[in-house]
A and B are shown apart, each in its own frame.
Chain A
Amino acid sequence: MTLPTLNFLAILPLLILVAATLLVLLADLVVRNKRVLTFLGLLAVAASLAAVLLVRPAAPTFQGMTLADELGLFASVAILVATGLALLLALERTSDFTRRPGAYVALLLLATAGMIVMAKASDFITIFLGLEILSLSLYILVGFAQRDARSNEAALKYFLLGAFASGFFLYGMALIYAATGSTNLAEISKGIASHSASLPFAPLLPIGVGLLLVGYGFKLALVPFHMWTPDVYQGAPTSVTAFMSVATKTAAFASLIRVLAAVWSGDRPWLLALAGLAVVTMTLGNLAALRQTSLKRMLAYSSIAHAGYVLTGLAAGNDRGFEGALYYLIAYTFMNLGAFATIQAVQRRDQNDVTTEQITGLSTQRPGLALLMTVFMFALTGMPPLVGFFGKLYVFSGAVQGGMTWLAIVGVINSAIAAYYYLRVTVLMYMGGATAAAGDIPRTGWAVWTTLVITAVATLALGLWQQPWMESIREAVTLLALR
């Protein structure tokens, strides 16, 4: 018997992350100054990022289980950037809610590893593996503020519903296996292309994909699988919310794009199902966000709406839509992380949320924070030349090109509605007297400032200068070879 050739270089970024996880756990036992652990985590993220960018094997490895293609690379970079920023965010504020910053950092790294596995996986088994690693880590992270009842409640809800969703996911995988006889995406794609009619259980394929969609829909917070989102985003520590709201989306969307490209039959009803999901997701998310008084809850509904926009790109069913979706994910990573970072900067040490009342008149006390928040709000609104605008432009024009003009119209109307609640934040910050005493807002340390500046600059720069990004994205989509 010959041993399979295992190209460990291909999973080097993952190995780094997992090794760092263990190292952080061990170091936690001996190190007094817990900030060192965060720096260790940052170092690991940087090393992993370097590995992603420098070591680029082309062929599928581990018997076709994982694929380090352009899409995987793209998603990995987005996820790692989000992790790095989330670690920076956590540096000063983990002590507010936990006595175990070591475990916090370790779980964050482990979740990242899971996300990268998921984004790169080219086999249902590995997809599920990544999904579970990231989910289990996130369940714990969401409940990390142990003294906060809301955080505990959020963790339990997320766990129960997540298990429920995993069930759907597994069942979908099983049915697709029954229909095509493989769990490998490349094999499945080949099987469908060559002899779709002769497969005995072919009718099971749409059912399987539908069940998979439920699983993805849960992770992506698509309506009607979204109901956990406001509770969890509000209850989780803010740095966790910031991280999971962007990185989970990137991982799950990258994986969904891969799966869709594999089982793609170009059928209109499939696209219409996605389009329908997109419509209810954007609309419900935006409308429900209109009247929230908790900023984290508002951004939770807003993130539901943004998932709807990204899904619009997938529903378009053409290259432009897929490219738009990927661009949107990168854009969303920066602008949403920035928004949550600002919330964390404003929130009191004994609190885990910021109300609209608390930011009223923020500009007089903390003009810098107010200005940055304005940038993020405008980016989320879709104001050119910030990134959010181009994301919307690409996905909606993808829909127009795909013959779904109505979907683009719904999307554009939605983004007009959304302007109202994003703008309300700006209005409150700049207009109206100060209600919160300046002393309530803790001093903002350098790490948070770094996060804020990086996200704000990226929010502007990726809009003004997007050629390199678009080229990478284009390559990623071309390699998927949509039919």
Chain B
Amino acid sequence: MLDYAWLMLLFPALGTLIISLFGTRLGKRAVSILAPAMVFLSFVVAVAAFVSLLGLPVDERSREVTLWRWMVVGNFSVDAALLLDQLSITMALAVTCVGFLIHVYSAGYMHDDERVPRYFAFLNLFILAMLTLVLANNYLLLFVGWEGVGLVSYLLIGFWFEKPAAADAGKKAFIVNRVGDFGLLLAIMFIWTGIGSLRFADVFALAPQVWPAGSAVVGAVTLLMLLASTGKSAQIPLYVWLPDAMEGPTPVSALIHAATMVTAGVYMIARSAVLFDLAPASGNWVAWVGVLTAFFAGTIALTQTDLKRILAYSTVSQLGFMFIAVGVGAYAAGIFHLVTHAFFKALLFLSAGSVMHALNGELDIRKMGNLRVKLPTTYWTFLVGAAALAGIPLFSGFFSKDAILFAAFEKQLPVWIIGVITAFITALYSFRMVFVTFWGQERDRRLFNHAHESPRVVTIPLIILAVGAVLTGYIGLPAISAIDGWLAPAFHPAGAAAETHSVALELILLVVSGLIALAGVFAAYQAYMVDPDLPKRVRASLGRVGRLVENKYYIDEIYDMFVVNPLRDLGGWLGGVFDRRGIDGAVNGLAGVTGWLGAQARRLQTGMVGLYALAMLFGAVALLAWLATR
């Protein structure tokens, strides 16, 4: 079966091709069946591959399937090949399973949209790119998938391009991601130059010999990978695009910006475990980036009032937790949280979509309230998701988050402390959403009266995801953790002995984090049900700090001021020097000095040939001076 794993890629590829070529002719109905069916077939293949992998002895659970010889440059060659091992199959299962459910949900959710075929073509393309990313057996193919998901994400965020906000958000996501991608590209070049191969197996086998532990090159490579991951996985400093990405359709937010694409960074770091083990300093960086992001995004989530934005910041925050895990070397815990998060965050987003659907697109939680009466199914599924997110005992998030915090406790105590605080905040904002949205009094009577439960094509995926959001936690029960044993060989191909944990300590920490989550829920109940004025008073007492958090630490404004505007103006000026029509832009761009320069430029840039020749002459003189005096 493993040899047919390429079928996993073929189905969504076919789906994309058929829908983009004949989509409008097939009609909405056919497309809404075809696209989910293709992903379902991929899921079936993934399950079959998983089963056959389970049937193999542990040391044979890594299989490469070569599709074709991609390129040969001397003794360097790259194949278009898939790697099937515990890690990639786990990821593929999560992607296809959650992806399938979201496809089904989309069929109902996007029903009234005019461009259903285009939507499903993009969605299938996304599954294709994501599977390419996780199944690749080398860094180059991984990069293809990496850029592919970024591209589709951009297309889908801007899907409703009539809204300028959506178009802008798409562009922002793309550009920010490019900044991260350049890190990965450089890392790939370093690996190519240093090791001479991009195949994972070769790289991980040779790296310890070529690069001594802690050496500068491996540090640079891993830090560049970290940069790439902060872009794709929305961490400090490149997280800014994710909250804006909520302008896209809600299922897209659920699929791409919660469950799958954003986890690519975590996946890549986990995949490169060998390299990160060689560079302990980079691991620390990863952990600290993660914990700071988790904390900051959590505080921002507390202050937002838009349901999807709260979820977006909570995603950023939860990704931070995954970074903590992979940063402290607990790769299995990170992937575990990745999987549970995929389920419960997709669930939360889709439930939020259901709420939005019921309220005519309203997302402001201040206008909601008491919705559990009107939307019982959505309420229960959302509650399950929130409980998992908050880490209430016995829900999936509880186990995975605990596994991360336990690993942090052992390796980095300060990280653990901030992590625990963040866990409290997480519980607080999770249940803030629940209480404000579904409990209490209805605040906007007109909206409330109009509200109605979503059709079954929407609620059934919700119920399935809710079951998943509870059950996925049990694959990683402490002490008997199935996922830990299953994944461990993928991170340490050499077969390093599994670390022994103190079970007693783990149980104590388990109780601690359970109590913290419950404390968060209690605090939310106090603040938003019992004493609704409390948040206002807290906010008033915080003063300037509060405003800072409410405005998301002004990060967007800072980027605009220091990066976006200068670049745009510089471009305008340079264009203006040689271009009549750009000149007004240049003058407006940088006042003062640029105004003067612009005026000079206007005089210079008459398109006069003499000037062009003069530039050539200067260039020639400079070049000759350099070459003659070298």
Contact A227:B611 (CB < 8 A) given known A319-B74, A385-B144: yes
Binds A, one of B47-55, B181-189, B306-314, B332-340: B181-189
CA distance A291 to B570 in the complex (A): 10
B163 and chain A: residue at smallest CB distance: A431
**Residue pair A297, B189 in contact (C-beta under 8 Å):** no
Residues of A within 8 A of B (CB): 153, 156-157, 160-161, 164-165, 168, 203, 206-207, 209-211, 213-214, 217-218, 223-225, 227-228, 230-231, 267, 269-270, 272-273, 276-277, 284, 287-293, 297, 301, 319-320, 323, 378, 383-385, 389-390, 392-394, 396-397, 400-401, 405, 408-409, 412-413, 415-417, 419-420, 423, 427, 430-432, 464-467, 470-471, 474
**Residue pair A467, B627 in contact (C-beta under 8 Å):** no
**Residue pair B185, A207 in contact (C-beta under 8 Å):** no
**Residue pair B620, A465 in contact (C-beta under 8 Å):** no
B186 and chain A: residue at smallest CB distance: A412
**Residue pair B171, A227 in contact (C-beta under 8 Å):** no
Known: A210-B628, A269-B627, A383-B151. 17 other contacts (CB 8 A): A206-B627, A206-B630, A209-B627, A213-B623, A273-B626, A288-B579, A291-B571, A297-B579, A389-B147, A400-B190, A405-B186, A419-B174, A427-B161, A427-B171, A465-B70, A467-B71, A474-B74
CA distance A466 to B618 in the complex (A): 41
**Residue pair B574, A287 in contact (C-beta under 8 Å):** yes
Within 8 A of A (CB), among B582-630: 582, 585, 607, 609, 611-613, 615-616, 618-620, 623-624, 626-628, 630
Q: Which of B170, B188, B612 contacts A393 (CB 8 A)?
A: B188
Count of A-B residue pairs with CB < 8 Å: 186
CA distance A408 to B618 in the complex (A): 26
**Residue pair A207, B616 in contact (C-beta under 8 Å):** no
**Inside 8 A of A284's CB, which chain B residues have their CB?**
574
A-B contact pairs, 18 of them (CB 8 A): A161-B613, A164-B616, A207-B627, A210-B620, A227-B615, A287-B574, A288-B579, A290-B567, A291-B568, A323-B73, A378-B151, A389-B147, A408-B189, A409-B186, A416-B178, A416-B182, A466-B70, A471-B72
B46-70, CB under 8 A of A: which get 1 and which 0?
Answer: 0000000000000000000000111
B86-100, CB under 8 A of A: which get 1 and which 0?
Answer: 000000000000000
Min distance, Cβ A235 to any Cβ of chain B, angstroms: 10
CA distance A320 to B192 in the complex (A): 11
CA distance A392 to B189 in the complex (A): 11
**Residue pair A273, B578 in contact (C-beta under 8 Å):** no
B285-329, CB under 8 A of A: which get 1 and which 0?
Answer: 000000000000000000000000000000000000000000000
Min distance, Cβ B545 to any Cβ of chain A, angstroms: 34
**Residue pair B612, A269 in contact (C-beta under 8 Å):** no
Min distance, Cβ B492 to any Cβ of chain A, angstroms: 29
Q: Which of A225, A273, A289, A323 contacts B616 (CB 8 A)?
A: A225
**Residue pair A384, B143 in contact (C-beta under 8 Å):** yes
**Residue pair A427, B568 in contact (C-beta under 8 Å):** no
**Inside 8 A of B623's CB, which chain A residues have their CB?**
210, 213-214, 273, 277
CA distance A378 to B144 in the complex (A): 13
**Inside 8 A of A227's CB, which chain B residues have their CB?**
578, 611-612, 615-616
CA distance A423 to B157 in the complex (A): 14
**Residue pair A230, B619 in contact (C-beta under 8 Å):** no
**Residue pair B612, A161 in contact (C-beta under 8 Å):** yes
CA distance A227 to B612 in the complex (A): 6
B126-161, CB under 8 A of A: which get 1 and which 0?
Answer: 000000000000001001100110010000001001
**Residue pair A419, B175 in contact (C-beta under 8 Å):** yes
**Residue pair B616, A288 in contact (C-beta under 8 Å):** no
Within 8 A of A (CB), among B539-582: 567-568, 570-572, 574-579, 581-582
B150 and chain A: residue at smallest CB distance: A383
Q: B interface, how many residues as a size bin?
A: 35 or more
**Residue pair A431, B616 in contact (C-beta under 8 Å):** no
**Residue pair B144, A384 in contact (C-beta under 8 Å):** yes
**Residue pair A161, B171 in contact (C-beta under 8 Å):** no
**Residue pair B185, A412 in contact (C-beta under 8 Å):** yes
**Residue pair A165, B71 in contact (C-beta under 8 Å):** no
**Residue pair A393, B185 in contact (C-beta under 8 Å):** yes
**Inside 8 A of B575's CB, which chain A residues have their CB?**
287-292, 301
CA distance A465 to B68 in the complex (A): 8
B529 interfacial contact with A, CB 8 Å: no
CA distance A430 to B122 in the complex (A): 14
**Inside 8 A of A400's CB, which chain B residues have their CB?**
186, 189-190, 192-193
Min distance, Cβ A310 to any Cβ of chain B, angstroms: 17
Max chain A CB contacts within 10 Å: which of B147, B167, B170, B609? Answer: B609
Closest 5 CB pairs of A and B: A290-B571, A431-B161, A269-B630, A224-B619, A227-B612
**Residue pair B585, A470 in contact (C-beta under 8 Å):** no
**Inside 8 A of A211's CB, which chain B residues have their CB?**
620, 624
B610 and chain A: residue at smallest CB distance: A160
**Residue pair B616, A401 in contact (C-beta under 8 Å):** no
**Inside 8 A of A288's CB, which chain B residues have their CB?**
571, 574-575, 577-579
Max chain B CB contacts within 10 Å: which of A161, A323, A384, A423? Answer: A384
Min distance, Cβ B202 to any Cβ of chain A, angstroms: 16
Within 8 A of A (CB), among B446-485: none
**Inside 8 A of B171's CB, which chain A residues have their CB?**
423, 427
**Residue pair A157, B628 in contact (C-beta under 8 Å):** no
